Chain A
């Protein structure tokens, strides 16, 4: 009897043939992957044969770059790693921009690329590219599977690296022969990462120092970056701000980390930030940076940045501390963990009533402004309407340029994780595909893909995915028939010599939408905008809105390159 049982067991094992691709599927299941953005091709055929039966949702973008941007949108909204599959060679090189983008903005991505068979690696085989060499500087880490039995461990490590510490993209290159080789199912998988131990808990002494500095400050300000969002620490930030009454400035990527309708919220700082936020950074005596990296678009000329401030910097990445701005109180920690520690520490409220009064006066005197009397459709007005019609609750994704800045200025986010934008790399063509991932991560929310007419044309093909999956995304094209930000810089710094920044010849975007069976509207006046938005924003189907906005409008305020953060032009007087 016992012998019989053993025999059946043996037969079973023999019948169950497992390949490298199966190990991959197992690992994805173990990581609870719900959705994969992938594009098949020769080198990933063994993997796609398994995906045919997979339980997770597979989204087929119409270009690999769209796939990885969608994965970025998914990661930003869900907080989980976005998973991408691309084939070898051109498939792999097409995701390079997305990897660089995710690296700059610290988004967790796990990308699988196919590779030619191990026997021909290095021979310039068909669709071969040295994707490890190409992506080493733009990934947090990358692997090439060289032994079949490494697959489970490598995938476990990849997910762990992508989502812990400072998140980032991880790439796994899988040669075709390894994906199709037959093997046995392994037992427990252990990670081997002796050189990777991110610091999460803050040093108590530094927290104490920071608390003391707050008690002694008269002009304190908190600069809150995307670290707040990555660490899921928005609630802790709110609690801490209410305890200490320190005003908050956001970076571009941090928007939503602190509710913008809160009285202690000053606004976004930086090249196109608001007057009060930039002046607050410029004149403060204590600057507490939580999870921001002092990017050059935020600081302006470093010589003039916060000259009188004692700088405290909380960051999970020690290399960011002191990289651009000399820091007196460095705190290496996860933003949420640091805020929790700060909340436990006793701390006197700073004596800053005068400072608060100054900030309030600035806010009243110098808000964002545009010509409201103009007969033209002003992009800022459209942004206000989008905000009003969605009550500031929508998920907003953008491309890069003027519309991105207007969205950051006029869409006042109330909640965390509603804002998807390409900040560090500044990738055009990001807005539309990232909205797909965002909508998949949060199917019930209204998703606005705010794009420019130029950036939209870098990824129009993804309309097919929106149609196919009937994603109720509202695409708002801010159509000024130009590369708006480039045009603006040429106007200011190149004597209005508009070299290749005007694109008067365009497709009819409404007809283009109709070609994909998506409803489209051309909107030329404010009245039309009001009427159409009230009608379409709450529908459960995709809609494309072609807003013909004033082509000569510029983004203000603005800090010219090389200028200090206090030297803004275009401030409302």
Chain B
């Protein structure tokens, strides 16, 4: 089961090391971790996507993270209405024949081409992870040369709905 955990941490040397250390010490499985500055000075926001086997395990992770002295706030936002986005850069093989076809695939996904060379294209796509997966699936037959993904970053939407829907974020 996938959980998204959002952390507000002090922006100090070694904080990320403490968190990854905790994950490896407790044998938790991280899918992605993304770090960046937050709106508050001296603090960073970290978004972790992890795989857990049970609710009990995800509660343990939250509690262990809360114990960390450099972590100010831990929120498991999996069941909230969230905006979750990931960015991927994909280098695809292309030739004059296939280029148009690839462009036609890019359009509905609102991805963009940010570099073109004789035999390849670099595509930039943002969205939730499932959307990126779907796009990769489509583009695979053309020959993917390289992929770089940022991992999910997320936070709760301004308005939380009463009913919890599974997919309460748009595809774009």
Instruction: Report the separation of the CA atoms of residues A322 and B58 in the bound assembly, to the nearest whole angstrom.
Output: 12
Partner of A194, one of B17, B25, B72: B72
Measured between alpha carbons, how far is A318 from B9 in the docked complex, in Å? Answer: 19
When chains A and B are docked, how far (Å) is the Cα of A136 from the Cα of B13?
13
Could you jot down 29 A-B contacts, CB within 8 Å? Answer: A133-B17, A136-B14, A136-B17, A136-B21, A137-B21, A137-B25, A140-B69, A141-B69, A146-B13, A161-B69, A193-B69, A194-B10, A194-B72, A195-B10, A195-B68, A195-B70, A195-B71, A195-B72, A196-B69, A317-B67, A318-B63, A318-B66, A318-B67, A319-B60, A319-B64, A322-B56, A322-B59, A322-B60, A323-B60
B61's nearest neighbour on chain A, judged by CB, is A319
Would you call B110 an interface residue if the criterion is a C-beta within 8 Å of the partner chain's C-beta atoms? no
Q: Which of A305-325 contact B (CB under 8 A)?
A: 317-319, 322-323
Give the secondary structure class of A's interface: loop
Q: Top 9 closest A-B pairs, CB basis?
A: A319-B63, A195-B72, A196-B69, A137-B25, A136-B21, A141-B69, A195-B69, A319-B64, A137-B21
Would you call A571 an interface residue if the criterion is a C-beta within 8 Å of the partner chain's C-beta atoms?
A: no
> B residues bordering A, Cβ < 8 Å?
9-10, 13-14, 17-18, 21-22, 25, 56, 59-60, 63-64, 66-72
Q: Hey, which chain A residues are within 8 Å of B59, CB to CB? A: 322
Q: Which residues of A contact B9 (CB under 8 A)?
A: 195
> Could you mark each residue 121-157 of chain A with 1 if its beta carbon is under 8 Å from any beta carbon of chain B, else 0?
0000000000011001100110000100000000000
Q: Which of A297-351 contact B (CB under 8 A)?
A: 317-319, 322-323, 326
Pick from A133, A137, A319, A322: contact of B67, CB under 8 Å: A319
Q: Assuming A136-B21, A161-B69, A317-B67, what are 7 further A-B pairs, CB within 8 angstroms?
A: A137-B22, A140-B69, A193-B69, A194-B72, A195-B9, A318-B63, A319-B63
> With the chains together, A180 CA to B21 CA distance in Å?
32
A residues adjacent to B (C-beta < 8 A): 132-133, 136-137, 140-141, 146, 161, 193-196, 317-319, 322-323, 326
Q: In the docked arrangement, what's the CA distance between A141 and B12, Å?
A: 13
Give the residues in chain B near A326, CB-CB below 8 Å. 56
Cα distance, A193 to B59, chains bound together (Å)? 24
Name, among B63, B69, B71, the residue most crowded by chain A CB atoms within 10 Å (CB to CB): B69
The chain A residue with its CB closest to the CB of B25 is A137
A137 to B25, CA, bound (A): 7
Given the complex of chains A and B, what is the CA–CA distance between A326 and B59 in angstroms? Answer: 12
When chains A and B are docked, how far (Å) is the Cα of A318 from the Cα of B69? 14
Residues of A within 8 A of B18 (CB): 136
A323–B56 Cα gap in the complex (Å)?
A: 8
> Residues of A contacting B56 with CB < 8 Å?
322, 326
Task: Give A138's nearest chain B residue, CB to CB.
Answer: B25
Report the Cα distance A326→B56, complex, angstroms.
9
Q: For residue B148, give the distance in angstroms from its CB to the closest CB of chain A.
A: 27
Residue numbers in A under 8 Å from B68 (CB-CB): 195
The distance from the CB of B8 to the nearest CB of chain A, in whole angstroms, is 9
Q: Which residues of B contact A318 (CB under 8 A)?
A: 63, 66-67
- Distance A323 CA – B61 CA, assembled complex (angstroms): 10
Q: Report the bound CA distance from A317 to B64 in whole Å.
A: 10
* B60: A residues at CB distance < 8 A: 319, 322-323
Q: What CA separation (Å) do A140 and B22 show in the bound complex?
A: 12
